[in-house]
A and B are shown apart, each in its own frame.
Chain A
């Protein structure tokens, strides 16, 4: 294996060379996945907490559905968004197909069930411990929601990271709704697929190494923050 065939060497060369094309790809990957996780969290945390606190007909069916959607294949999510956004689709007039926005939408759909379902579990466990005290203090269920979400924050950080892992790792959805257009919608995972199909395996692997490194860094950072806060707050 010559030096240029070594994926680690390729990865290093890619990073050291600071190829502007690579930089764009990495930046878009992070941008799409982080925005998707942010939006999904904003929606899924309250929904998960509400599911934990309120009893209503159809609640169990909803929980089962959310749990099942955690395993939603990315290509299926991508296909649904594609149908919605394509010219003939109901939202076709916005012209969003093959844009980063469409990729964010698809990833929100993938990440939402994970965060909502796991939040429900975390908050429900905490609620069983807190319920009597909070009701004794006179809190309505609505006012319990922020309290429980805040007190479950360390567990929920892990939940959000799981969502981020899903978003940054998937390729099916962003490929279908983004189209892997060079300079517009090309992200790390779609580049890896492309380079693999071209037979450029060292480059594909090199990109994979960069992706893994970035995800590891983000997780390490979150872990450090949460450990520091935990030490401080017990």
Chain B
């Protein structure tokens, strides 16, 4: 089940030097829905090639912040801007969204969308399946795979896009420990290849394992954006202190 990631060389196009990931600026960006302010005006910068973990209680606006960053949503006011041209991005969702076709056809589809020449698609897809330990499941319908397998397949799909930035919205919240481990290894593999990681999670331990820096959100506000070590040792806000102690904060 938990096949270790093969260190298969990624094609050179996927290698991003650490400086090549452009910075993302939130400039007084806010989001409202039906009169409710779901994100208060926020100014922050995500730069460098780090693993940023967005943390906070349910409903704090973590997923919303990520969707604004990825461009799935537009801010009601203010701006969300990349410095220079927007980089190639991919997103992995909490519930894997896979098409009603075989595992390999899901990957081939993503390559077709990227306009990869037809004759190269199958080999690339097989390579990605191999890398994420799914080679034996290539012909299986994607939707009958287990939750962990499905999430690895979405990671394989993201891998094929060679993203400079990878967004993950609670990718492990419905998985068993082995599958969680596989996802975390994949995240690190992406990072290792120069992909910037932006990920939300509820799981403190997971955040401690993965985070370079932490964005702590509470009730539609970004309360802290600090290096991980500082966040876990000496959180600045009382809400973050309570959150880390595992107390209810709402």
Q: How many residues of B contact A (CB 8 A)?
A: 21
CB < 8 Å neighbour of A137 from B67, B100, B102, B113:
B113
Please state if A137 and B110 are interface contacts (CB–CB under 8 Å).
yes
Please state if B113 and A234 are interface contacts (CB–CB under 8 Å).
no
Please state if B97 and A132 are interface contacts (CB–CB under 8 Å).
yes
Please state if A133 and B93 are interface contacts (CB–CB under 8 Å).
yes
Please state if B90 and A136 are interface contacts (CB–CB under 8 Å).
yes
- A232: chain B residues within 8 A (beta carbon): 141
Closest to A232 in B: B141
Please state if A138 and B113 are interface contacts (CB–CB under 8 Å).
yes
Nearest-Cβ distance from residue A136 to partner chain B, whole angstroms: 4
| A233 CB-CB contact with B under 8 Å | yes
Closest to B145 in A: A234
| A198 CB-CB contact with B under 8 Å | no
Known: A139-B113, A234-B144. A132 touches B102 (CB 8 A): no
Please state if B72 and A234 are interface contacts (CB–CB under 8 Å).
no
Q: B-side interface residues toward A, CB under 8 Å?
A: 67, 70, 72, 89-91, 93, 97, 99-102, 109-110, 113-114, 141-144, 161
Q: A-side interface residues toward B, CB under 8 Å?
A: 129-130, 132-133, 135-139, 143, 147, 151, 153, 232-234
A-B contact pairs, 27 of them (CB 8 A): A130-B97, A132-B67, A132-B91, A133-B91, A133-B93, A133-B97, A136-B89, A136-B90, A136-B91, A137-B90, A137-B113, A137-B161, A138-B113, A139-B113, A143-B113, A147-B109, A151-B100, A151-B101, A153-B100, A232-B141, A233-B100, A233-B102, A233-B143, A234-B100, A234-B142, A234-B143, A234-B144
